[in-house]
Amino acid sequence: MYRTHTCGELRIENAGQQTTLAGWVQRVRNLGAMTFIDLRDRYGITQLVIDDKASAELKAAANELGREFVVQVKGTVRERESKNSKMTTGDIEIQVAEISVLSPSDVPPFTIQNDTDGGDELRMKYRYLDLRREAVRENLVLRSKMAIIVRNYLDSLNFIETETPVLIKSTPEGARDFVVPSRMNPGEFYALPQSPQQLKQLLMVAGFDRYYQIVKCFRDEDLRADRQPEFTQIDCEMAFVEQNDVLNTFEGLTRHLFREVKGFDPGEFHRMPFAEAMEKYGSDKPDIRFGMTFNDITALAQGKDFPVFNSAEYIVAICAEGCAEYTRKQLDALTEYMKRQQIGAKGLVYVKYGADGSLKSSVDKFYDETDLKKWADACGAKPGDLLLILSGEKAKTQIQMGALRLEMARQLNLMDKNVFCPLWVVDFPLLEWDEDTSRWHAMHHPFTSPKPEDIAMLDTEPGKVRANAYDLVINGVEIGGGSVRIFDSGLQAKMFGLLGFTPEQAQYQFGFLMNAFKYGAPPHAGIAFGFDRLVSMFAGLDSIRDVIAFPKNNTGRDVMMDAPSTIANEQLDELNLKVEIKEVKK
């Protein structure tokens, strides 16, 4: 037996007992007469002591130990003289009788404790060492716990967990596919699923009725902090349901997770149409932990001599409470922030509503206090507040103002990590126009159903057609999304046509789905949650990397395994591939 107890288990009640522990040496403190060793495993740390009464052999063995050696010790549990209330095992220590090294260790490249000295890249390279740190491990423990809660909850609602294949035909979800060459079918490729979308719909045709899977999805996209080329979804589909049934079921799941993991219920989720989200927050994933909503002041601000406003399609203001004292420097910095390429605003107008009731603006040349007061009233501003105003083409200006609203919330500390405000955004547009390709794209995916009352507009004004599509947003983060599906092969064919597929192309790429719809497809709808994001939000982290055991870095590399990598010529030959690197971009 390697151990009788774990390193997190022994308490004062165990004093006097014989014990065998095994674990990693966290620290050795040699105080001359006595040597203390902190022994660690995933359950905790236990202090070992080798005192002056110990045999010379034992003392010598202790002296040989280095950090991260794996050892087994036998000894007696005893009460500590100086207790450590910060450790669960802090009342006791082990008087060591025997120590054996199971595996020595090189000096680790960084210290394995919560406040480590290791930089990001180094910790990624030695991820298995990083995972020994409690702070990192705890995130994965939370992940495991949440996966079990999800499984139990969905199981209790009769969902069937079904695995779908990883080697499939391309499923367009708006990203690039990762592809795998087929040895047995020269010149042909599998794609890794961007999601099991079509497969789960086929399970509905198969009569499975309620499907779920905690499943890896693959998207070859440019990476950001909250993106990984492979990520995990809680993927679900239900038959004989309407949008409301899906929302209620997954609101139930989310609230259950909050109760089980966080110990509170966030209450019923708000629901907001996409159009309202854009009108009030300039975002399809509004953070509603704070207000600062948009006020359209176009009518109020036009008609004076300010040409910028007069020629604008839209003029919008937000009210930053208590910010009238912002200095010139702060306002210039905000203007610069808004002019950055990523945001692209042309300028920023402000009105300071002084505590004394005075109104001063950056456009005083064109507007007097009476005009400015009207704007302030429209925004519900009070003395001491600051109005920030943008103008221009409506859709673009909304998005820019959305970015400014978030920046102000950061400056004003309005984003409390311990507050959770879940929100369903519903009624997304079915299509969005892509300037680059001059084509309609499915905003969610091509299998999403238009709202029945909007179907007539498909031929006349496709851009106005709304979809039965929804997103779950928590604190400005998109946690999940889904839709009611098209289940009629005729409507599906029409949709592919709108998206620019010829009937032949649609048949080649999606024939299997359209055929399946000919054999009795039930009405169905579904959703997928980004599991990594959900866990990282519950853990209070900013990046999903921290909740993934072996994540990739921001160029999509696994720096620990050093993947991707080249493969041997024989392997390429077998695959009938010849690799020609056109240009190596670094």
Q: Which is nearer to ligand ASP, 423 or 469 (CB)?
A: 469
* 237: three-class secondary structure by DSSP: strand
* Closest approach of ligand ASP to the CB of residue 208, in Å: 15
From the list 150-158, 300-308, 338-346, 521-529, the region that binds ligand ASP by CB under 6 A is 521-529
177 scored as a contact of ligand ASP (CB under 6 A) = no
295 scored as a contact of ligand ASP (CB under 6 A) = no
From the list 20-28, 255-263, 342-350, 520-528, the region that binds ligand ASP by CB under 6 A is 520-528
Concatenating the DSSP letter of every residue in 256-323 gives: HHIIIIISS---SPEEEEHHHHHHHHSSSS--TTS----EE-HHHHTTSS-HHHHT-SEEEEEEETT-
Among 481, 495, 521, 552, which residue interacts with ligand ASP (rule: CB under 6 A)?
A: 481
229 scored as a contact of ligand ASP (CB under 6 A) = no
195 scored as a contact of ligand ASP (CB under 6 A) = yes
173 scored as a contact of ligand ASP (CB under 6 A) = yes
d(CA 300, CA 316): 10
Q: Which is nearer to ligand ASP, 61 or 442 (CB)?
A: 442
Instruction: Look at the alpha carbons of 538, 541, 543, 549 in this order and tell me if their dihedral is positive or negative.
Output: negative
* Closest approach of ligand ASP to the CB of residue 132, in Å: 34
Among 423, 431, 528, 559, which residue interacts with ligand ASP (rule: CB under 6 A)?
A: 528
Q: Give the containing element (helix H, strand E) for 211.
A: strand 210-218
Q: Which is nearer to ligand ASP, 5 or 444 (CB)?
A: 444
Among 164, 197, 361, 468, which residue interacts with ligand ASP (rule: CB under 6 A)?
A: 197
d(CA 390, CA 380): 17
Among 23, 90, 476, 526, which residue interacts with ligand ASP (rule: CB under 6 A)?
A: 526
Which pair of structure tokens corresponds to residue 51? 């005192």
Q: Three-state secondary structure along 468-490?
A: CEEEEEECCEEEEEEEEECCCHH
* Closest approach of ligand ASP to the CB of residue 568, in Å: 35
* Closest approach of ligand ASP to the CB of residue 233, in Å: 6
Among 50, 301, 421, 527, which residue interacts with ligand ASP (rule: CB under 6 A)?
A: 527
Which pair of structure tokens corresponds to residue 76? 């007696």
482 scored as a contact of ligand ASP (CB under 6 A) = yes
Site size toward ligand ASP (CB under 6 A) is: 9
Q: Helices marked H in 30-133 — which ranges?
A: 56-63, 120-125, 127-130
From the list 417-425, 525-533, 560-568, 573-581, the region that binds ligand ASP by CB under 6 A is 525-533
* Closest approach of ligand ASP to the CB of residue 214, in Å: 13
Q: Which is nearer to ligand ASP, 352 or 445 (CB)?
A: 445
Question: Residue 407 class from Cβ within 10 Å (0-12 exposed, 13-18 middle, 19+ buried)?
Answer: middle
Q: Which is nearer to ligand ASP, 94 or 527 (CB)?
A: 527
Nearest Cα neighbor of 422 from 266, 228, 235, 308 is 266
193 scored as a contact of ligand ASP (CB under 6 A) = no
From the list 175-183, 263-271, 418-426, 476-484, the region that binds ligand ASP by CB under 6 A is 476-484
Please, are residues 93 and 47 in contact by the beta-carbon 8 Å criterion?
yes
Rg (CA), the chain: 30
d(CA 459, CA 478): 31
Q: Which is nearer to ligand ASP, 295 or 483 (CB)?
A: 483
Q: Which is nearer to ligand ASP, 132 or 524 (CB)?
A: 524
Instruction: Look at the alpha carbons of 397, 399, 402, 404 in this order and tell me if their dihedral is positive or negative.
Output: negative
* Closest approach of ligand ASP to the CB of residue 247, in Å: 13
d(CA 220, CA 363): 46
Residues engaged in binding ligand ASP (CB under 6 A): 173, 195, 197, 481-483, 526-528
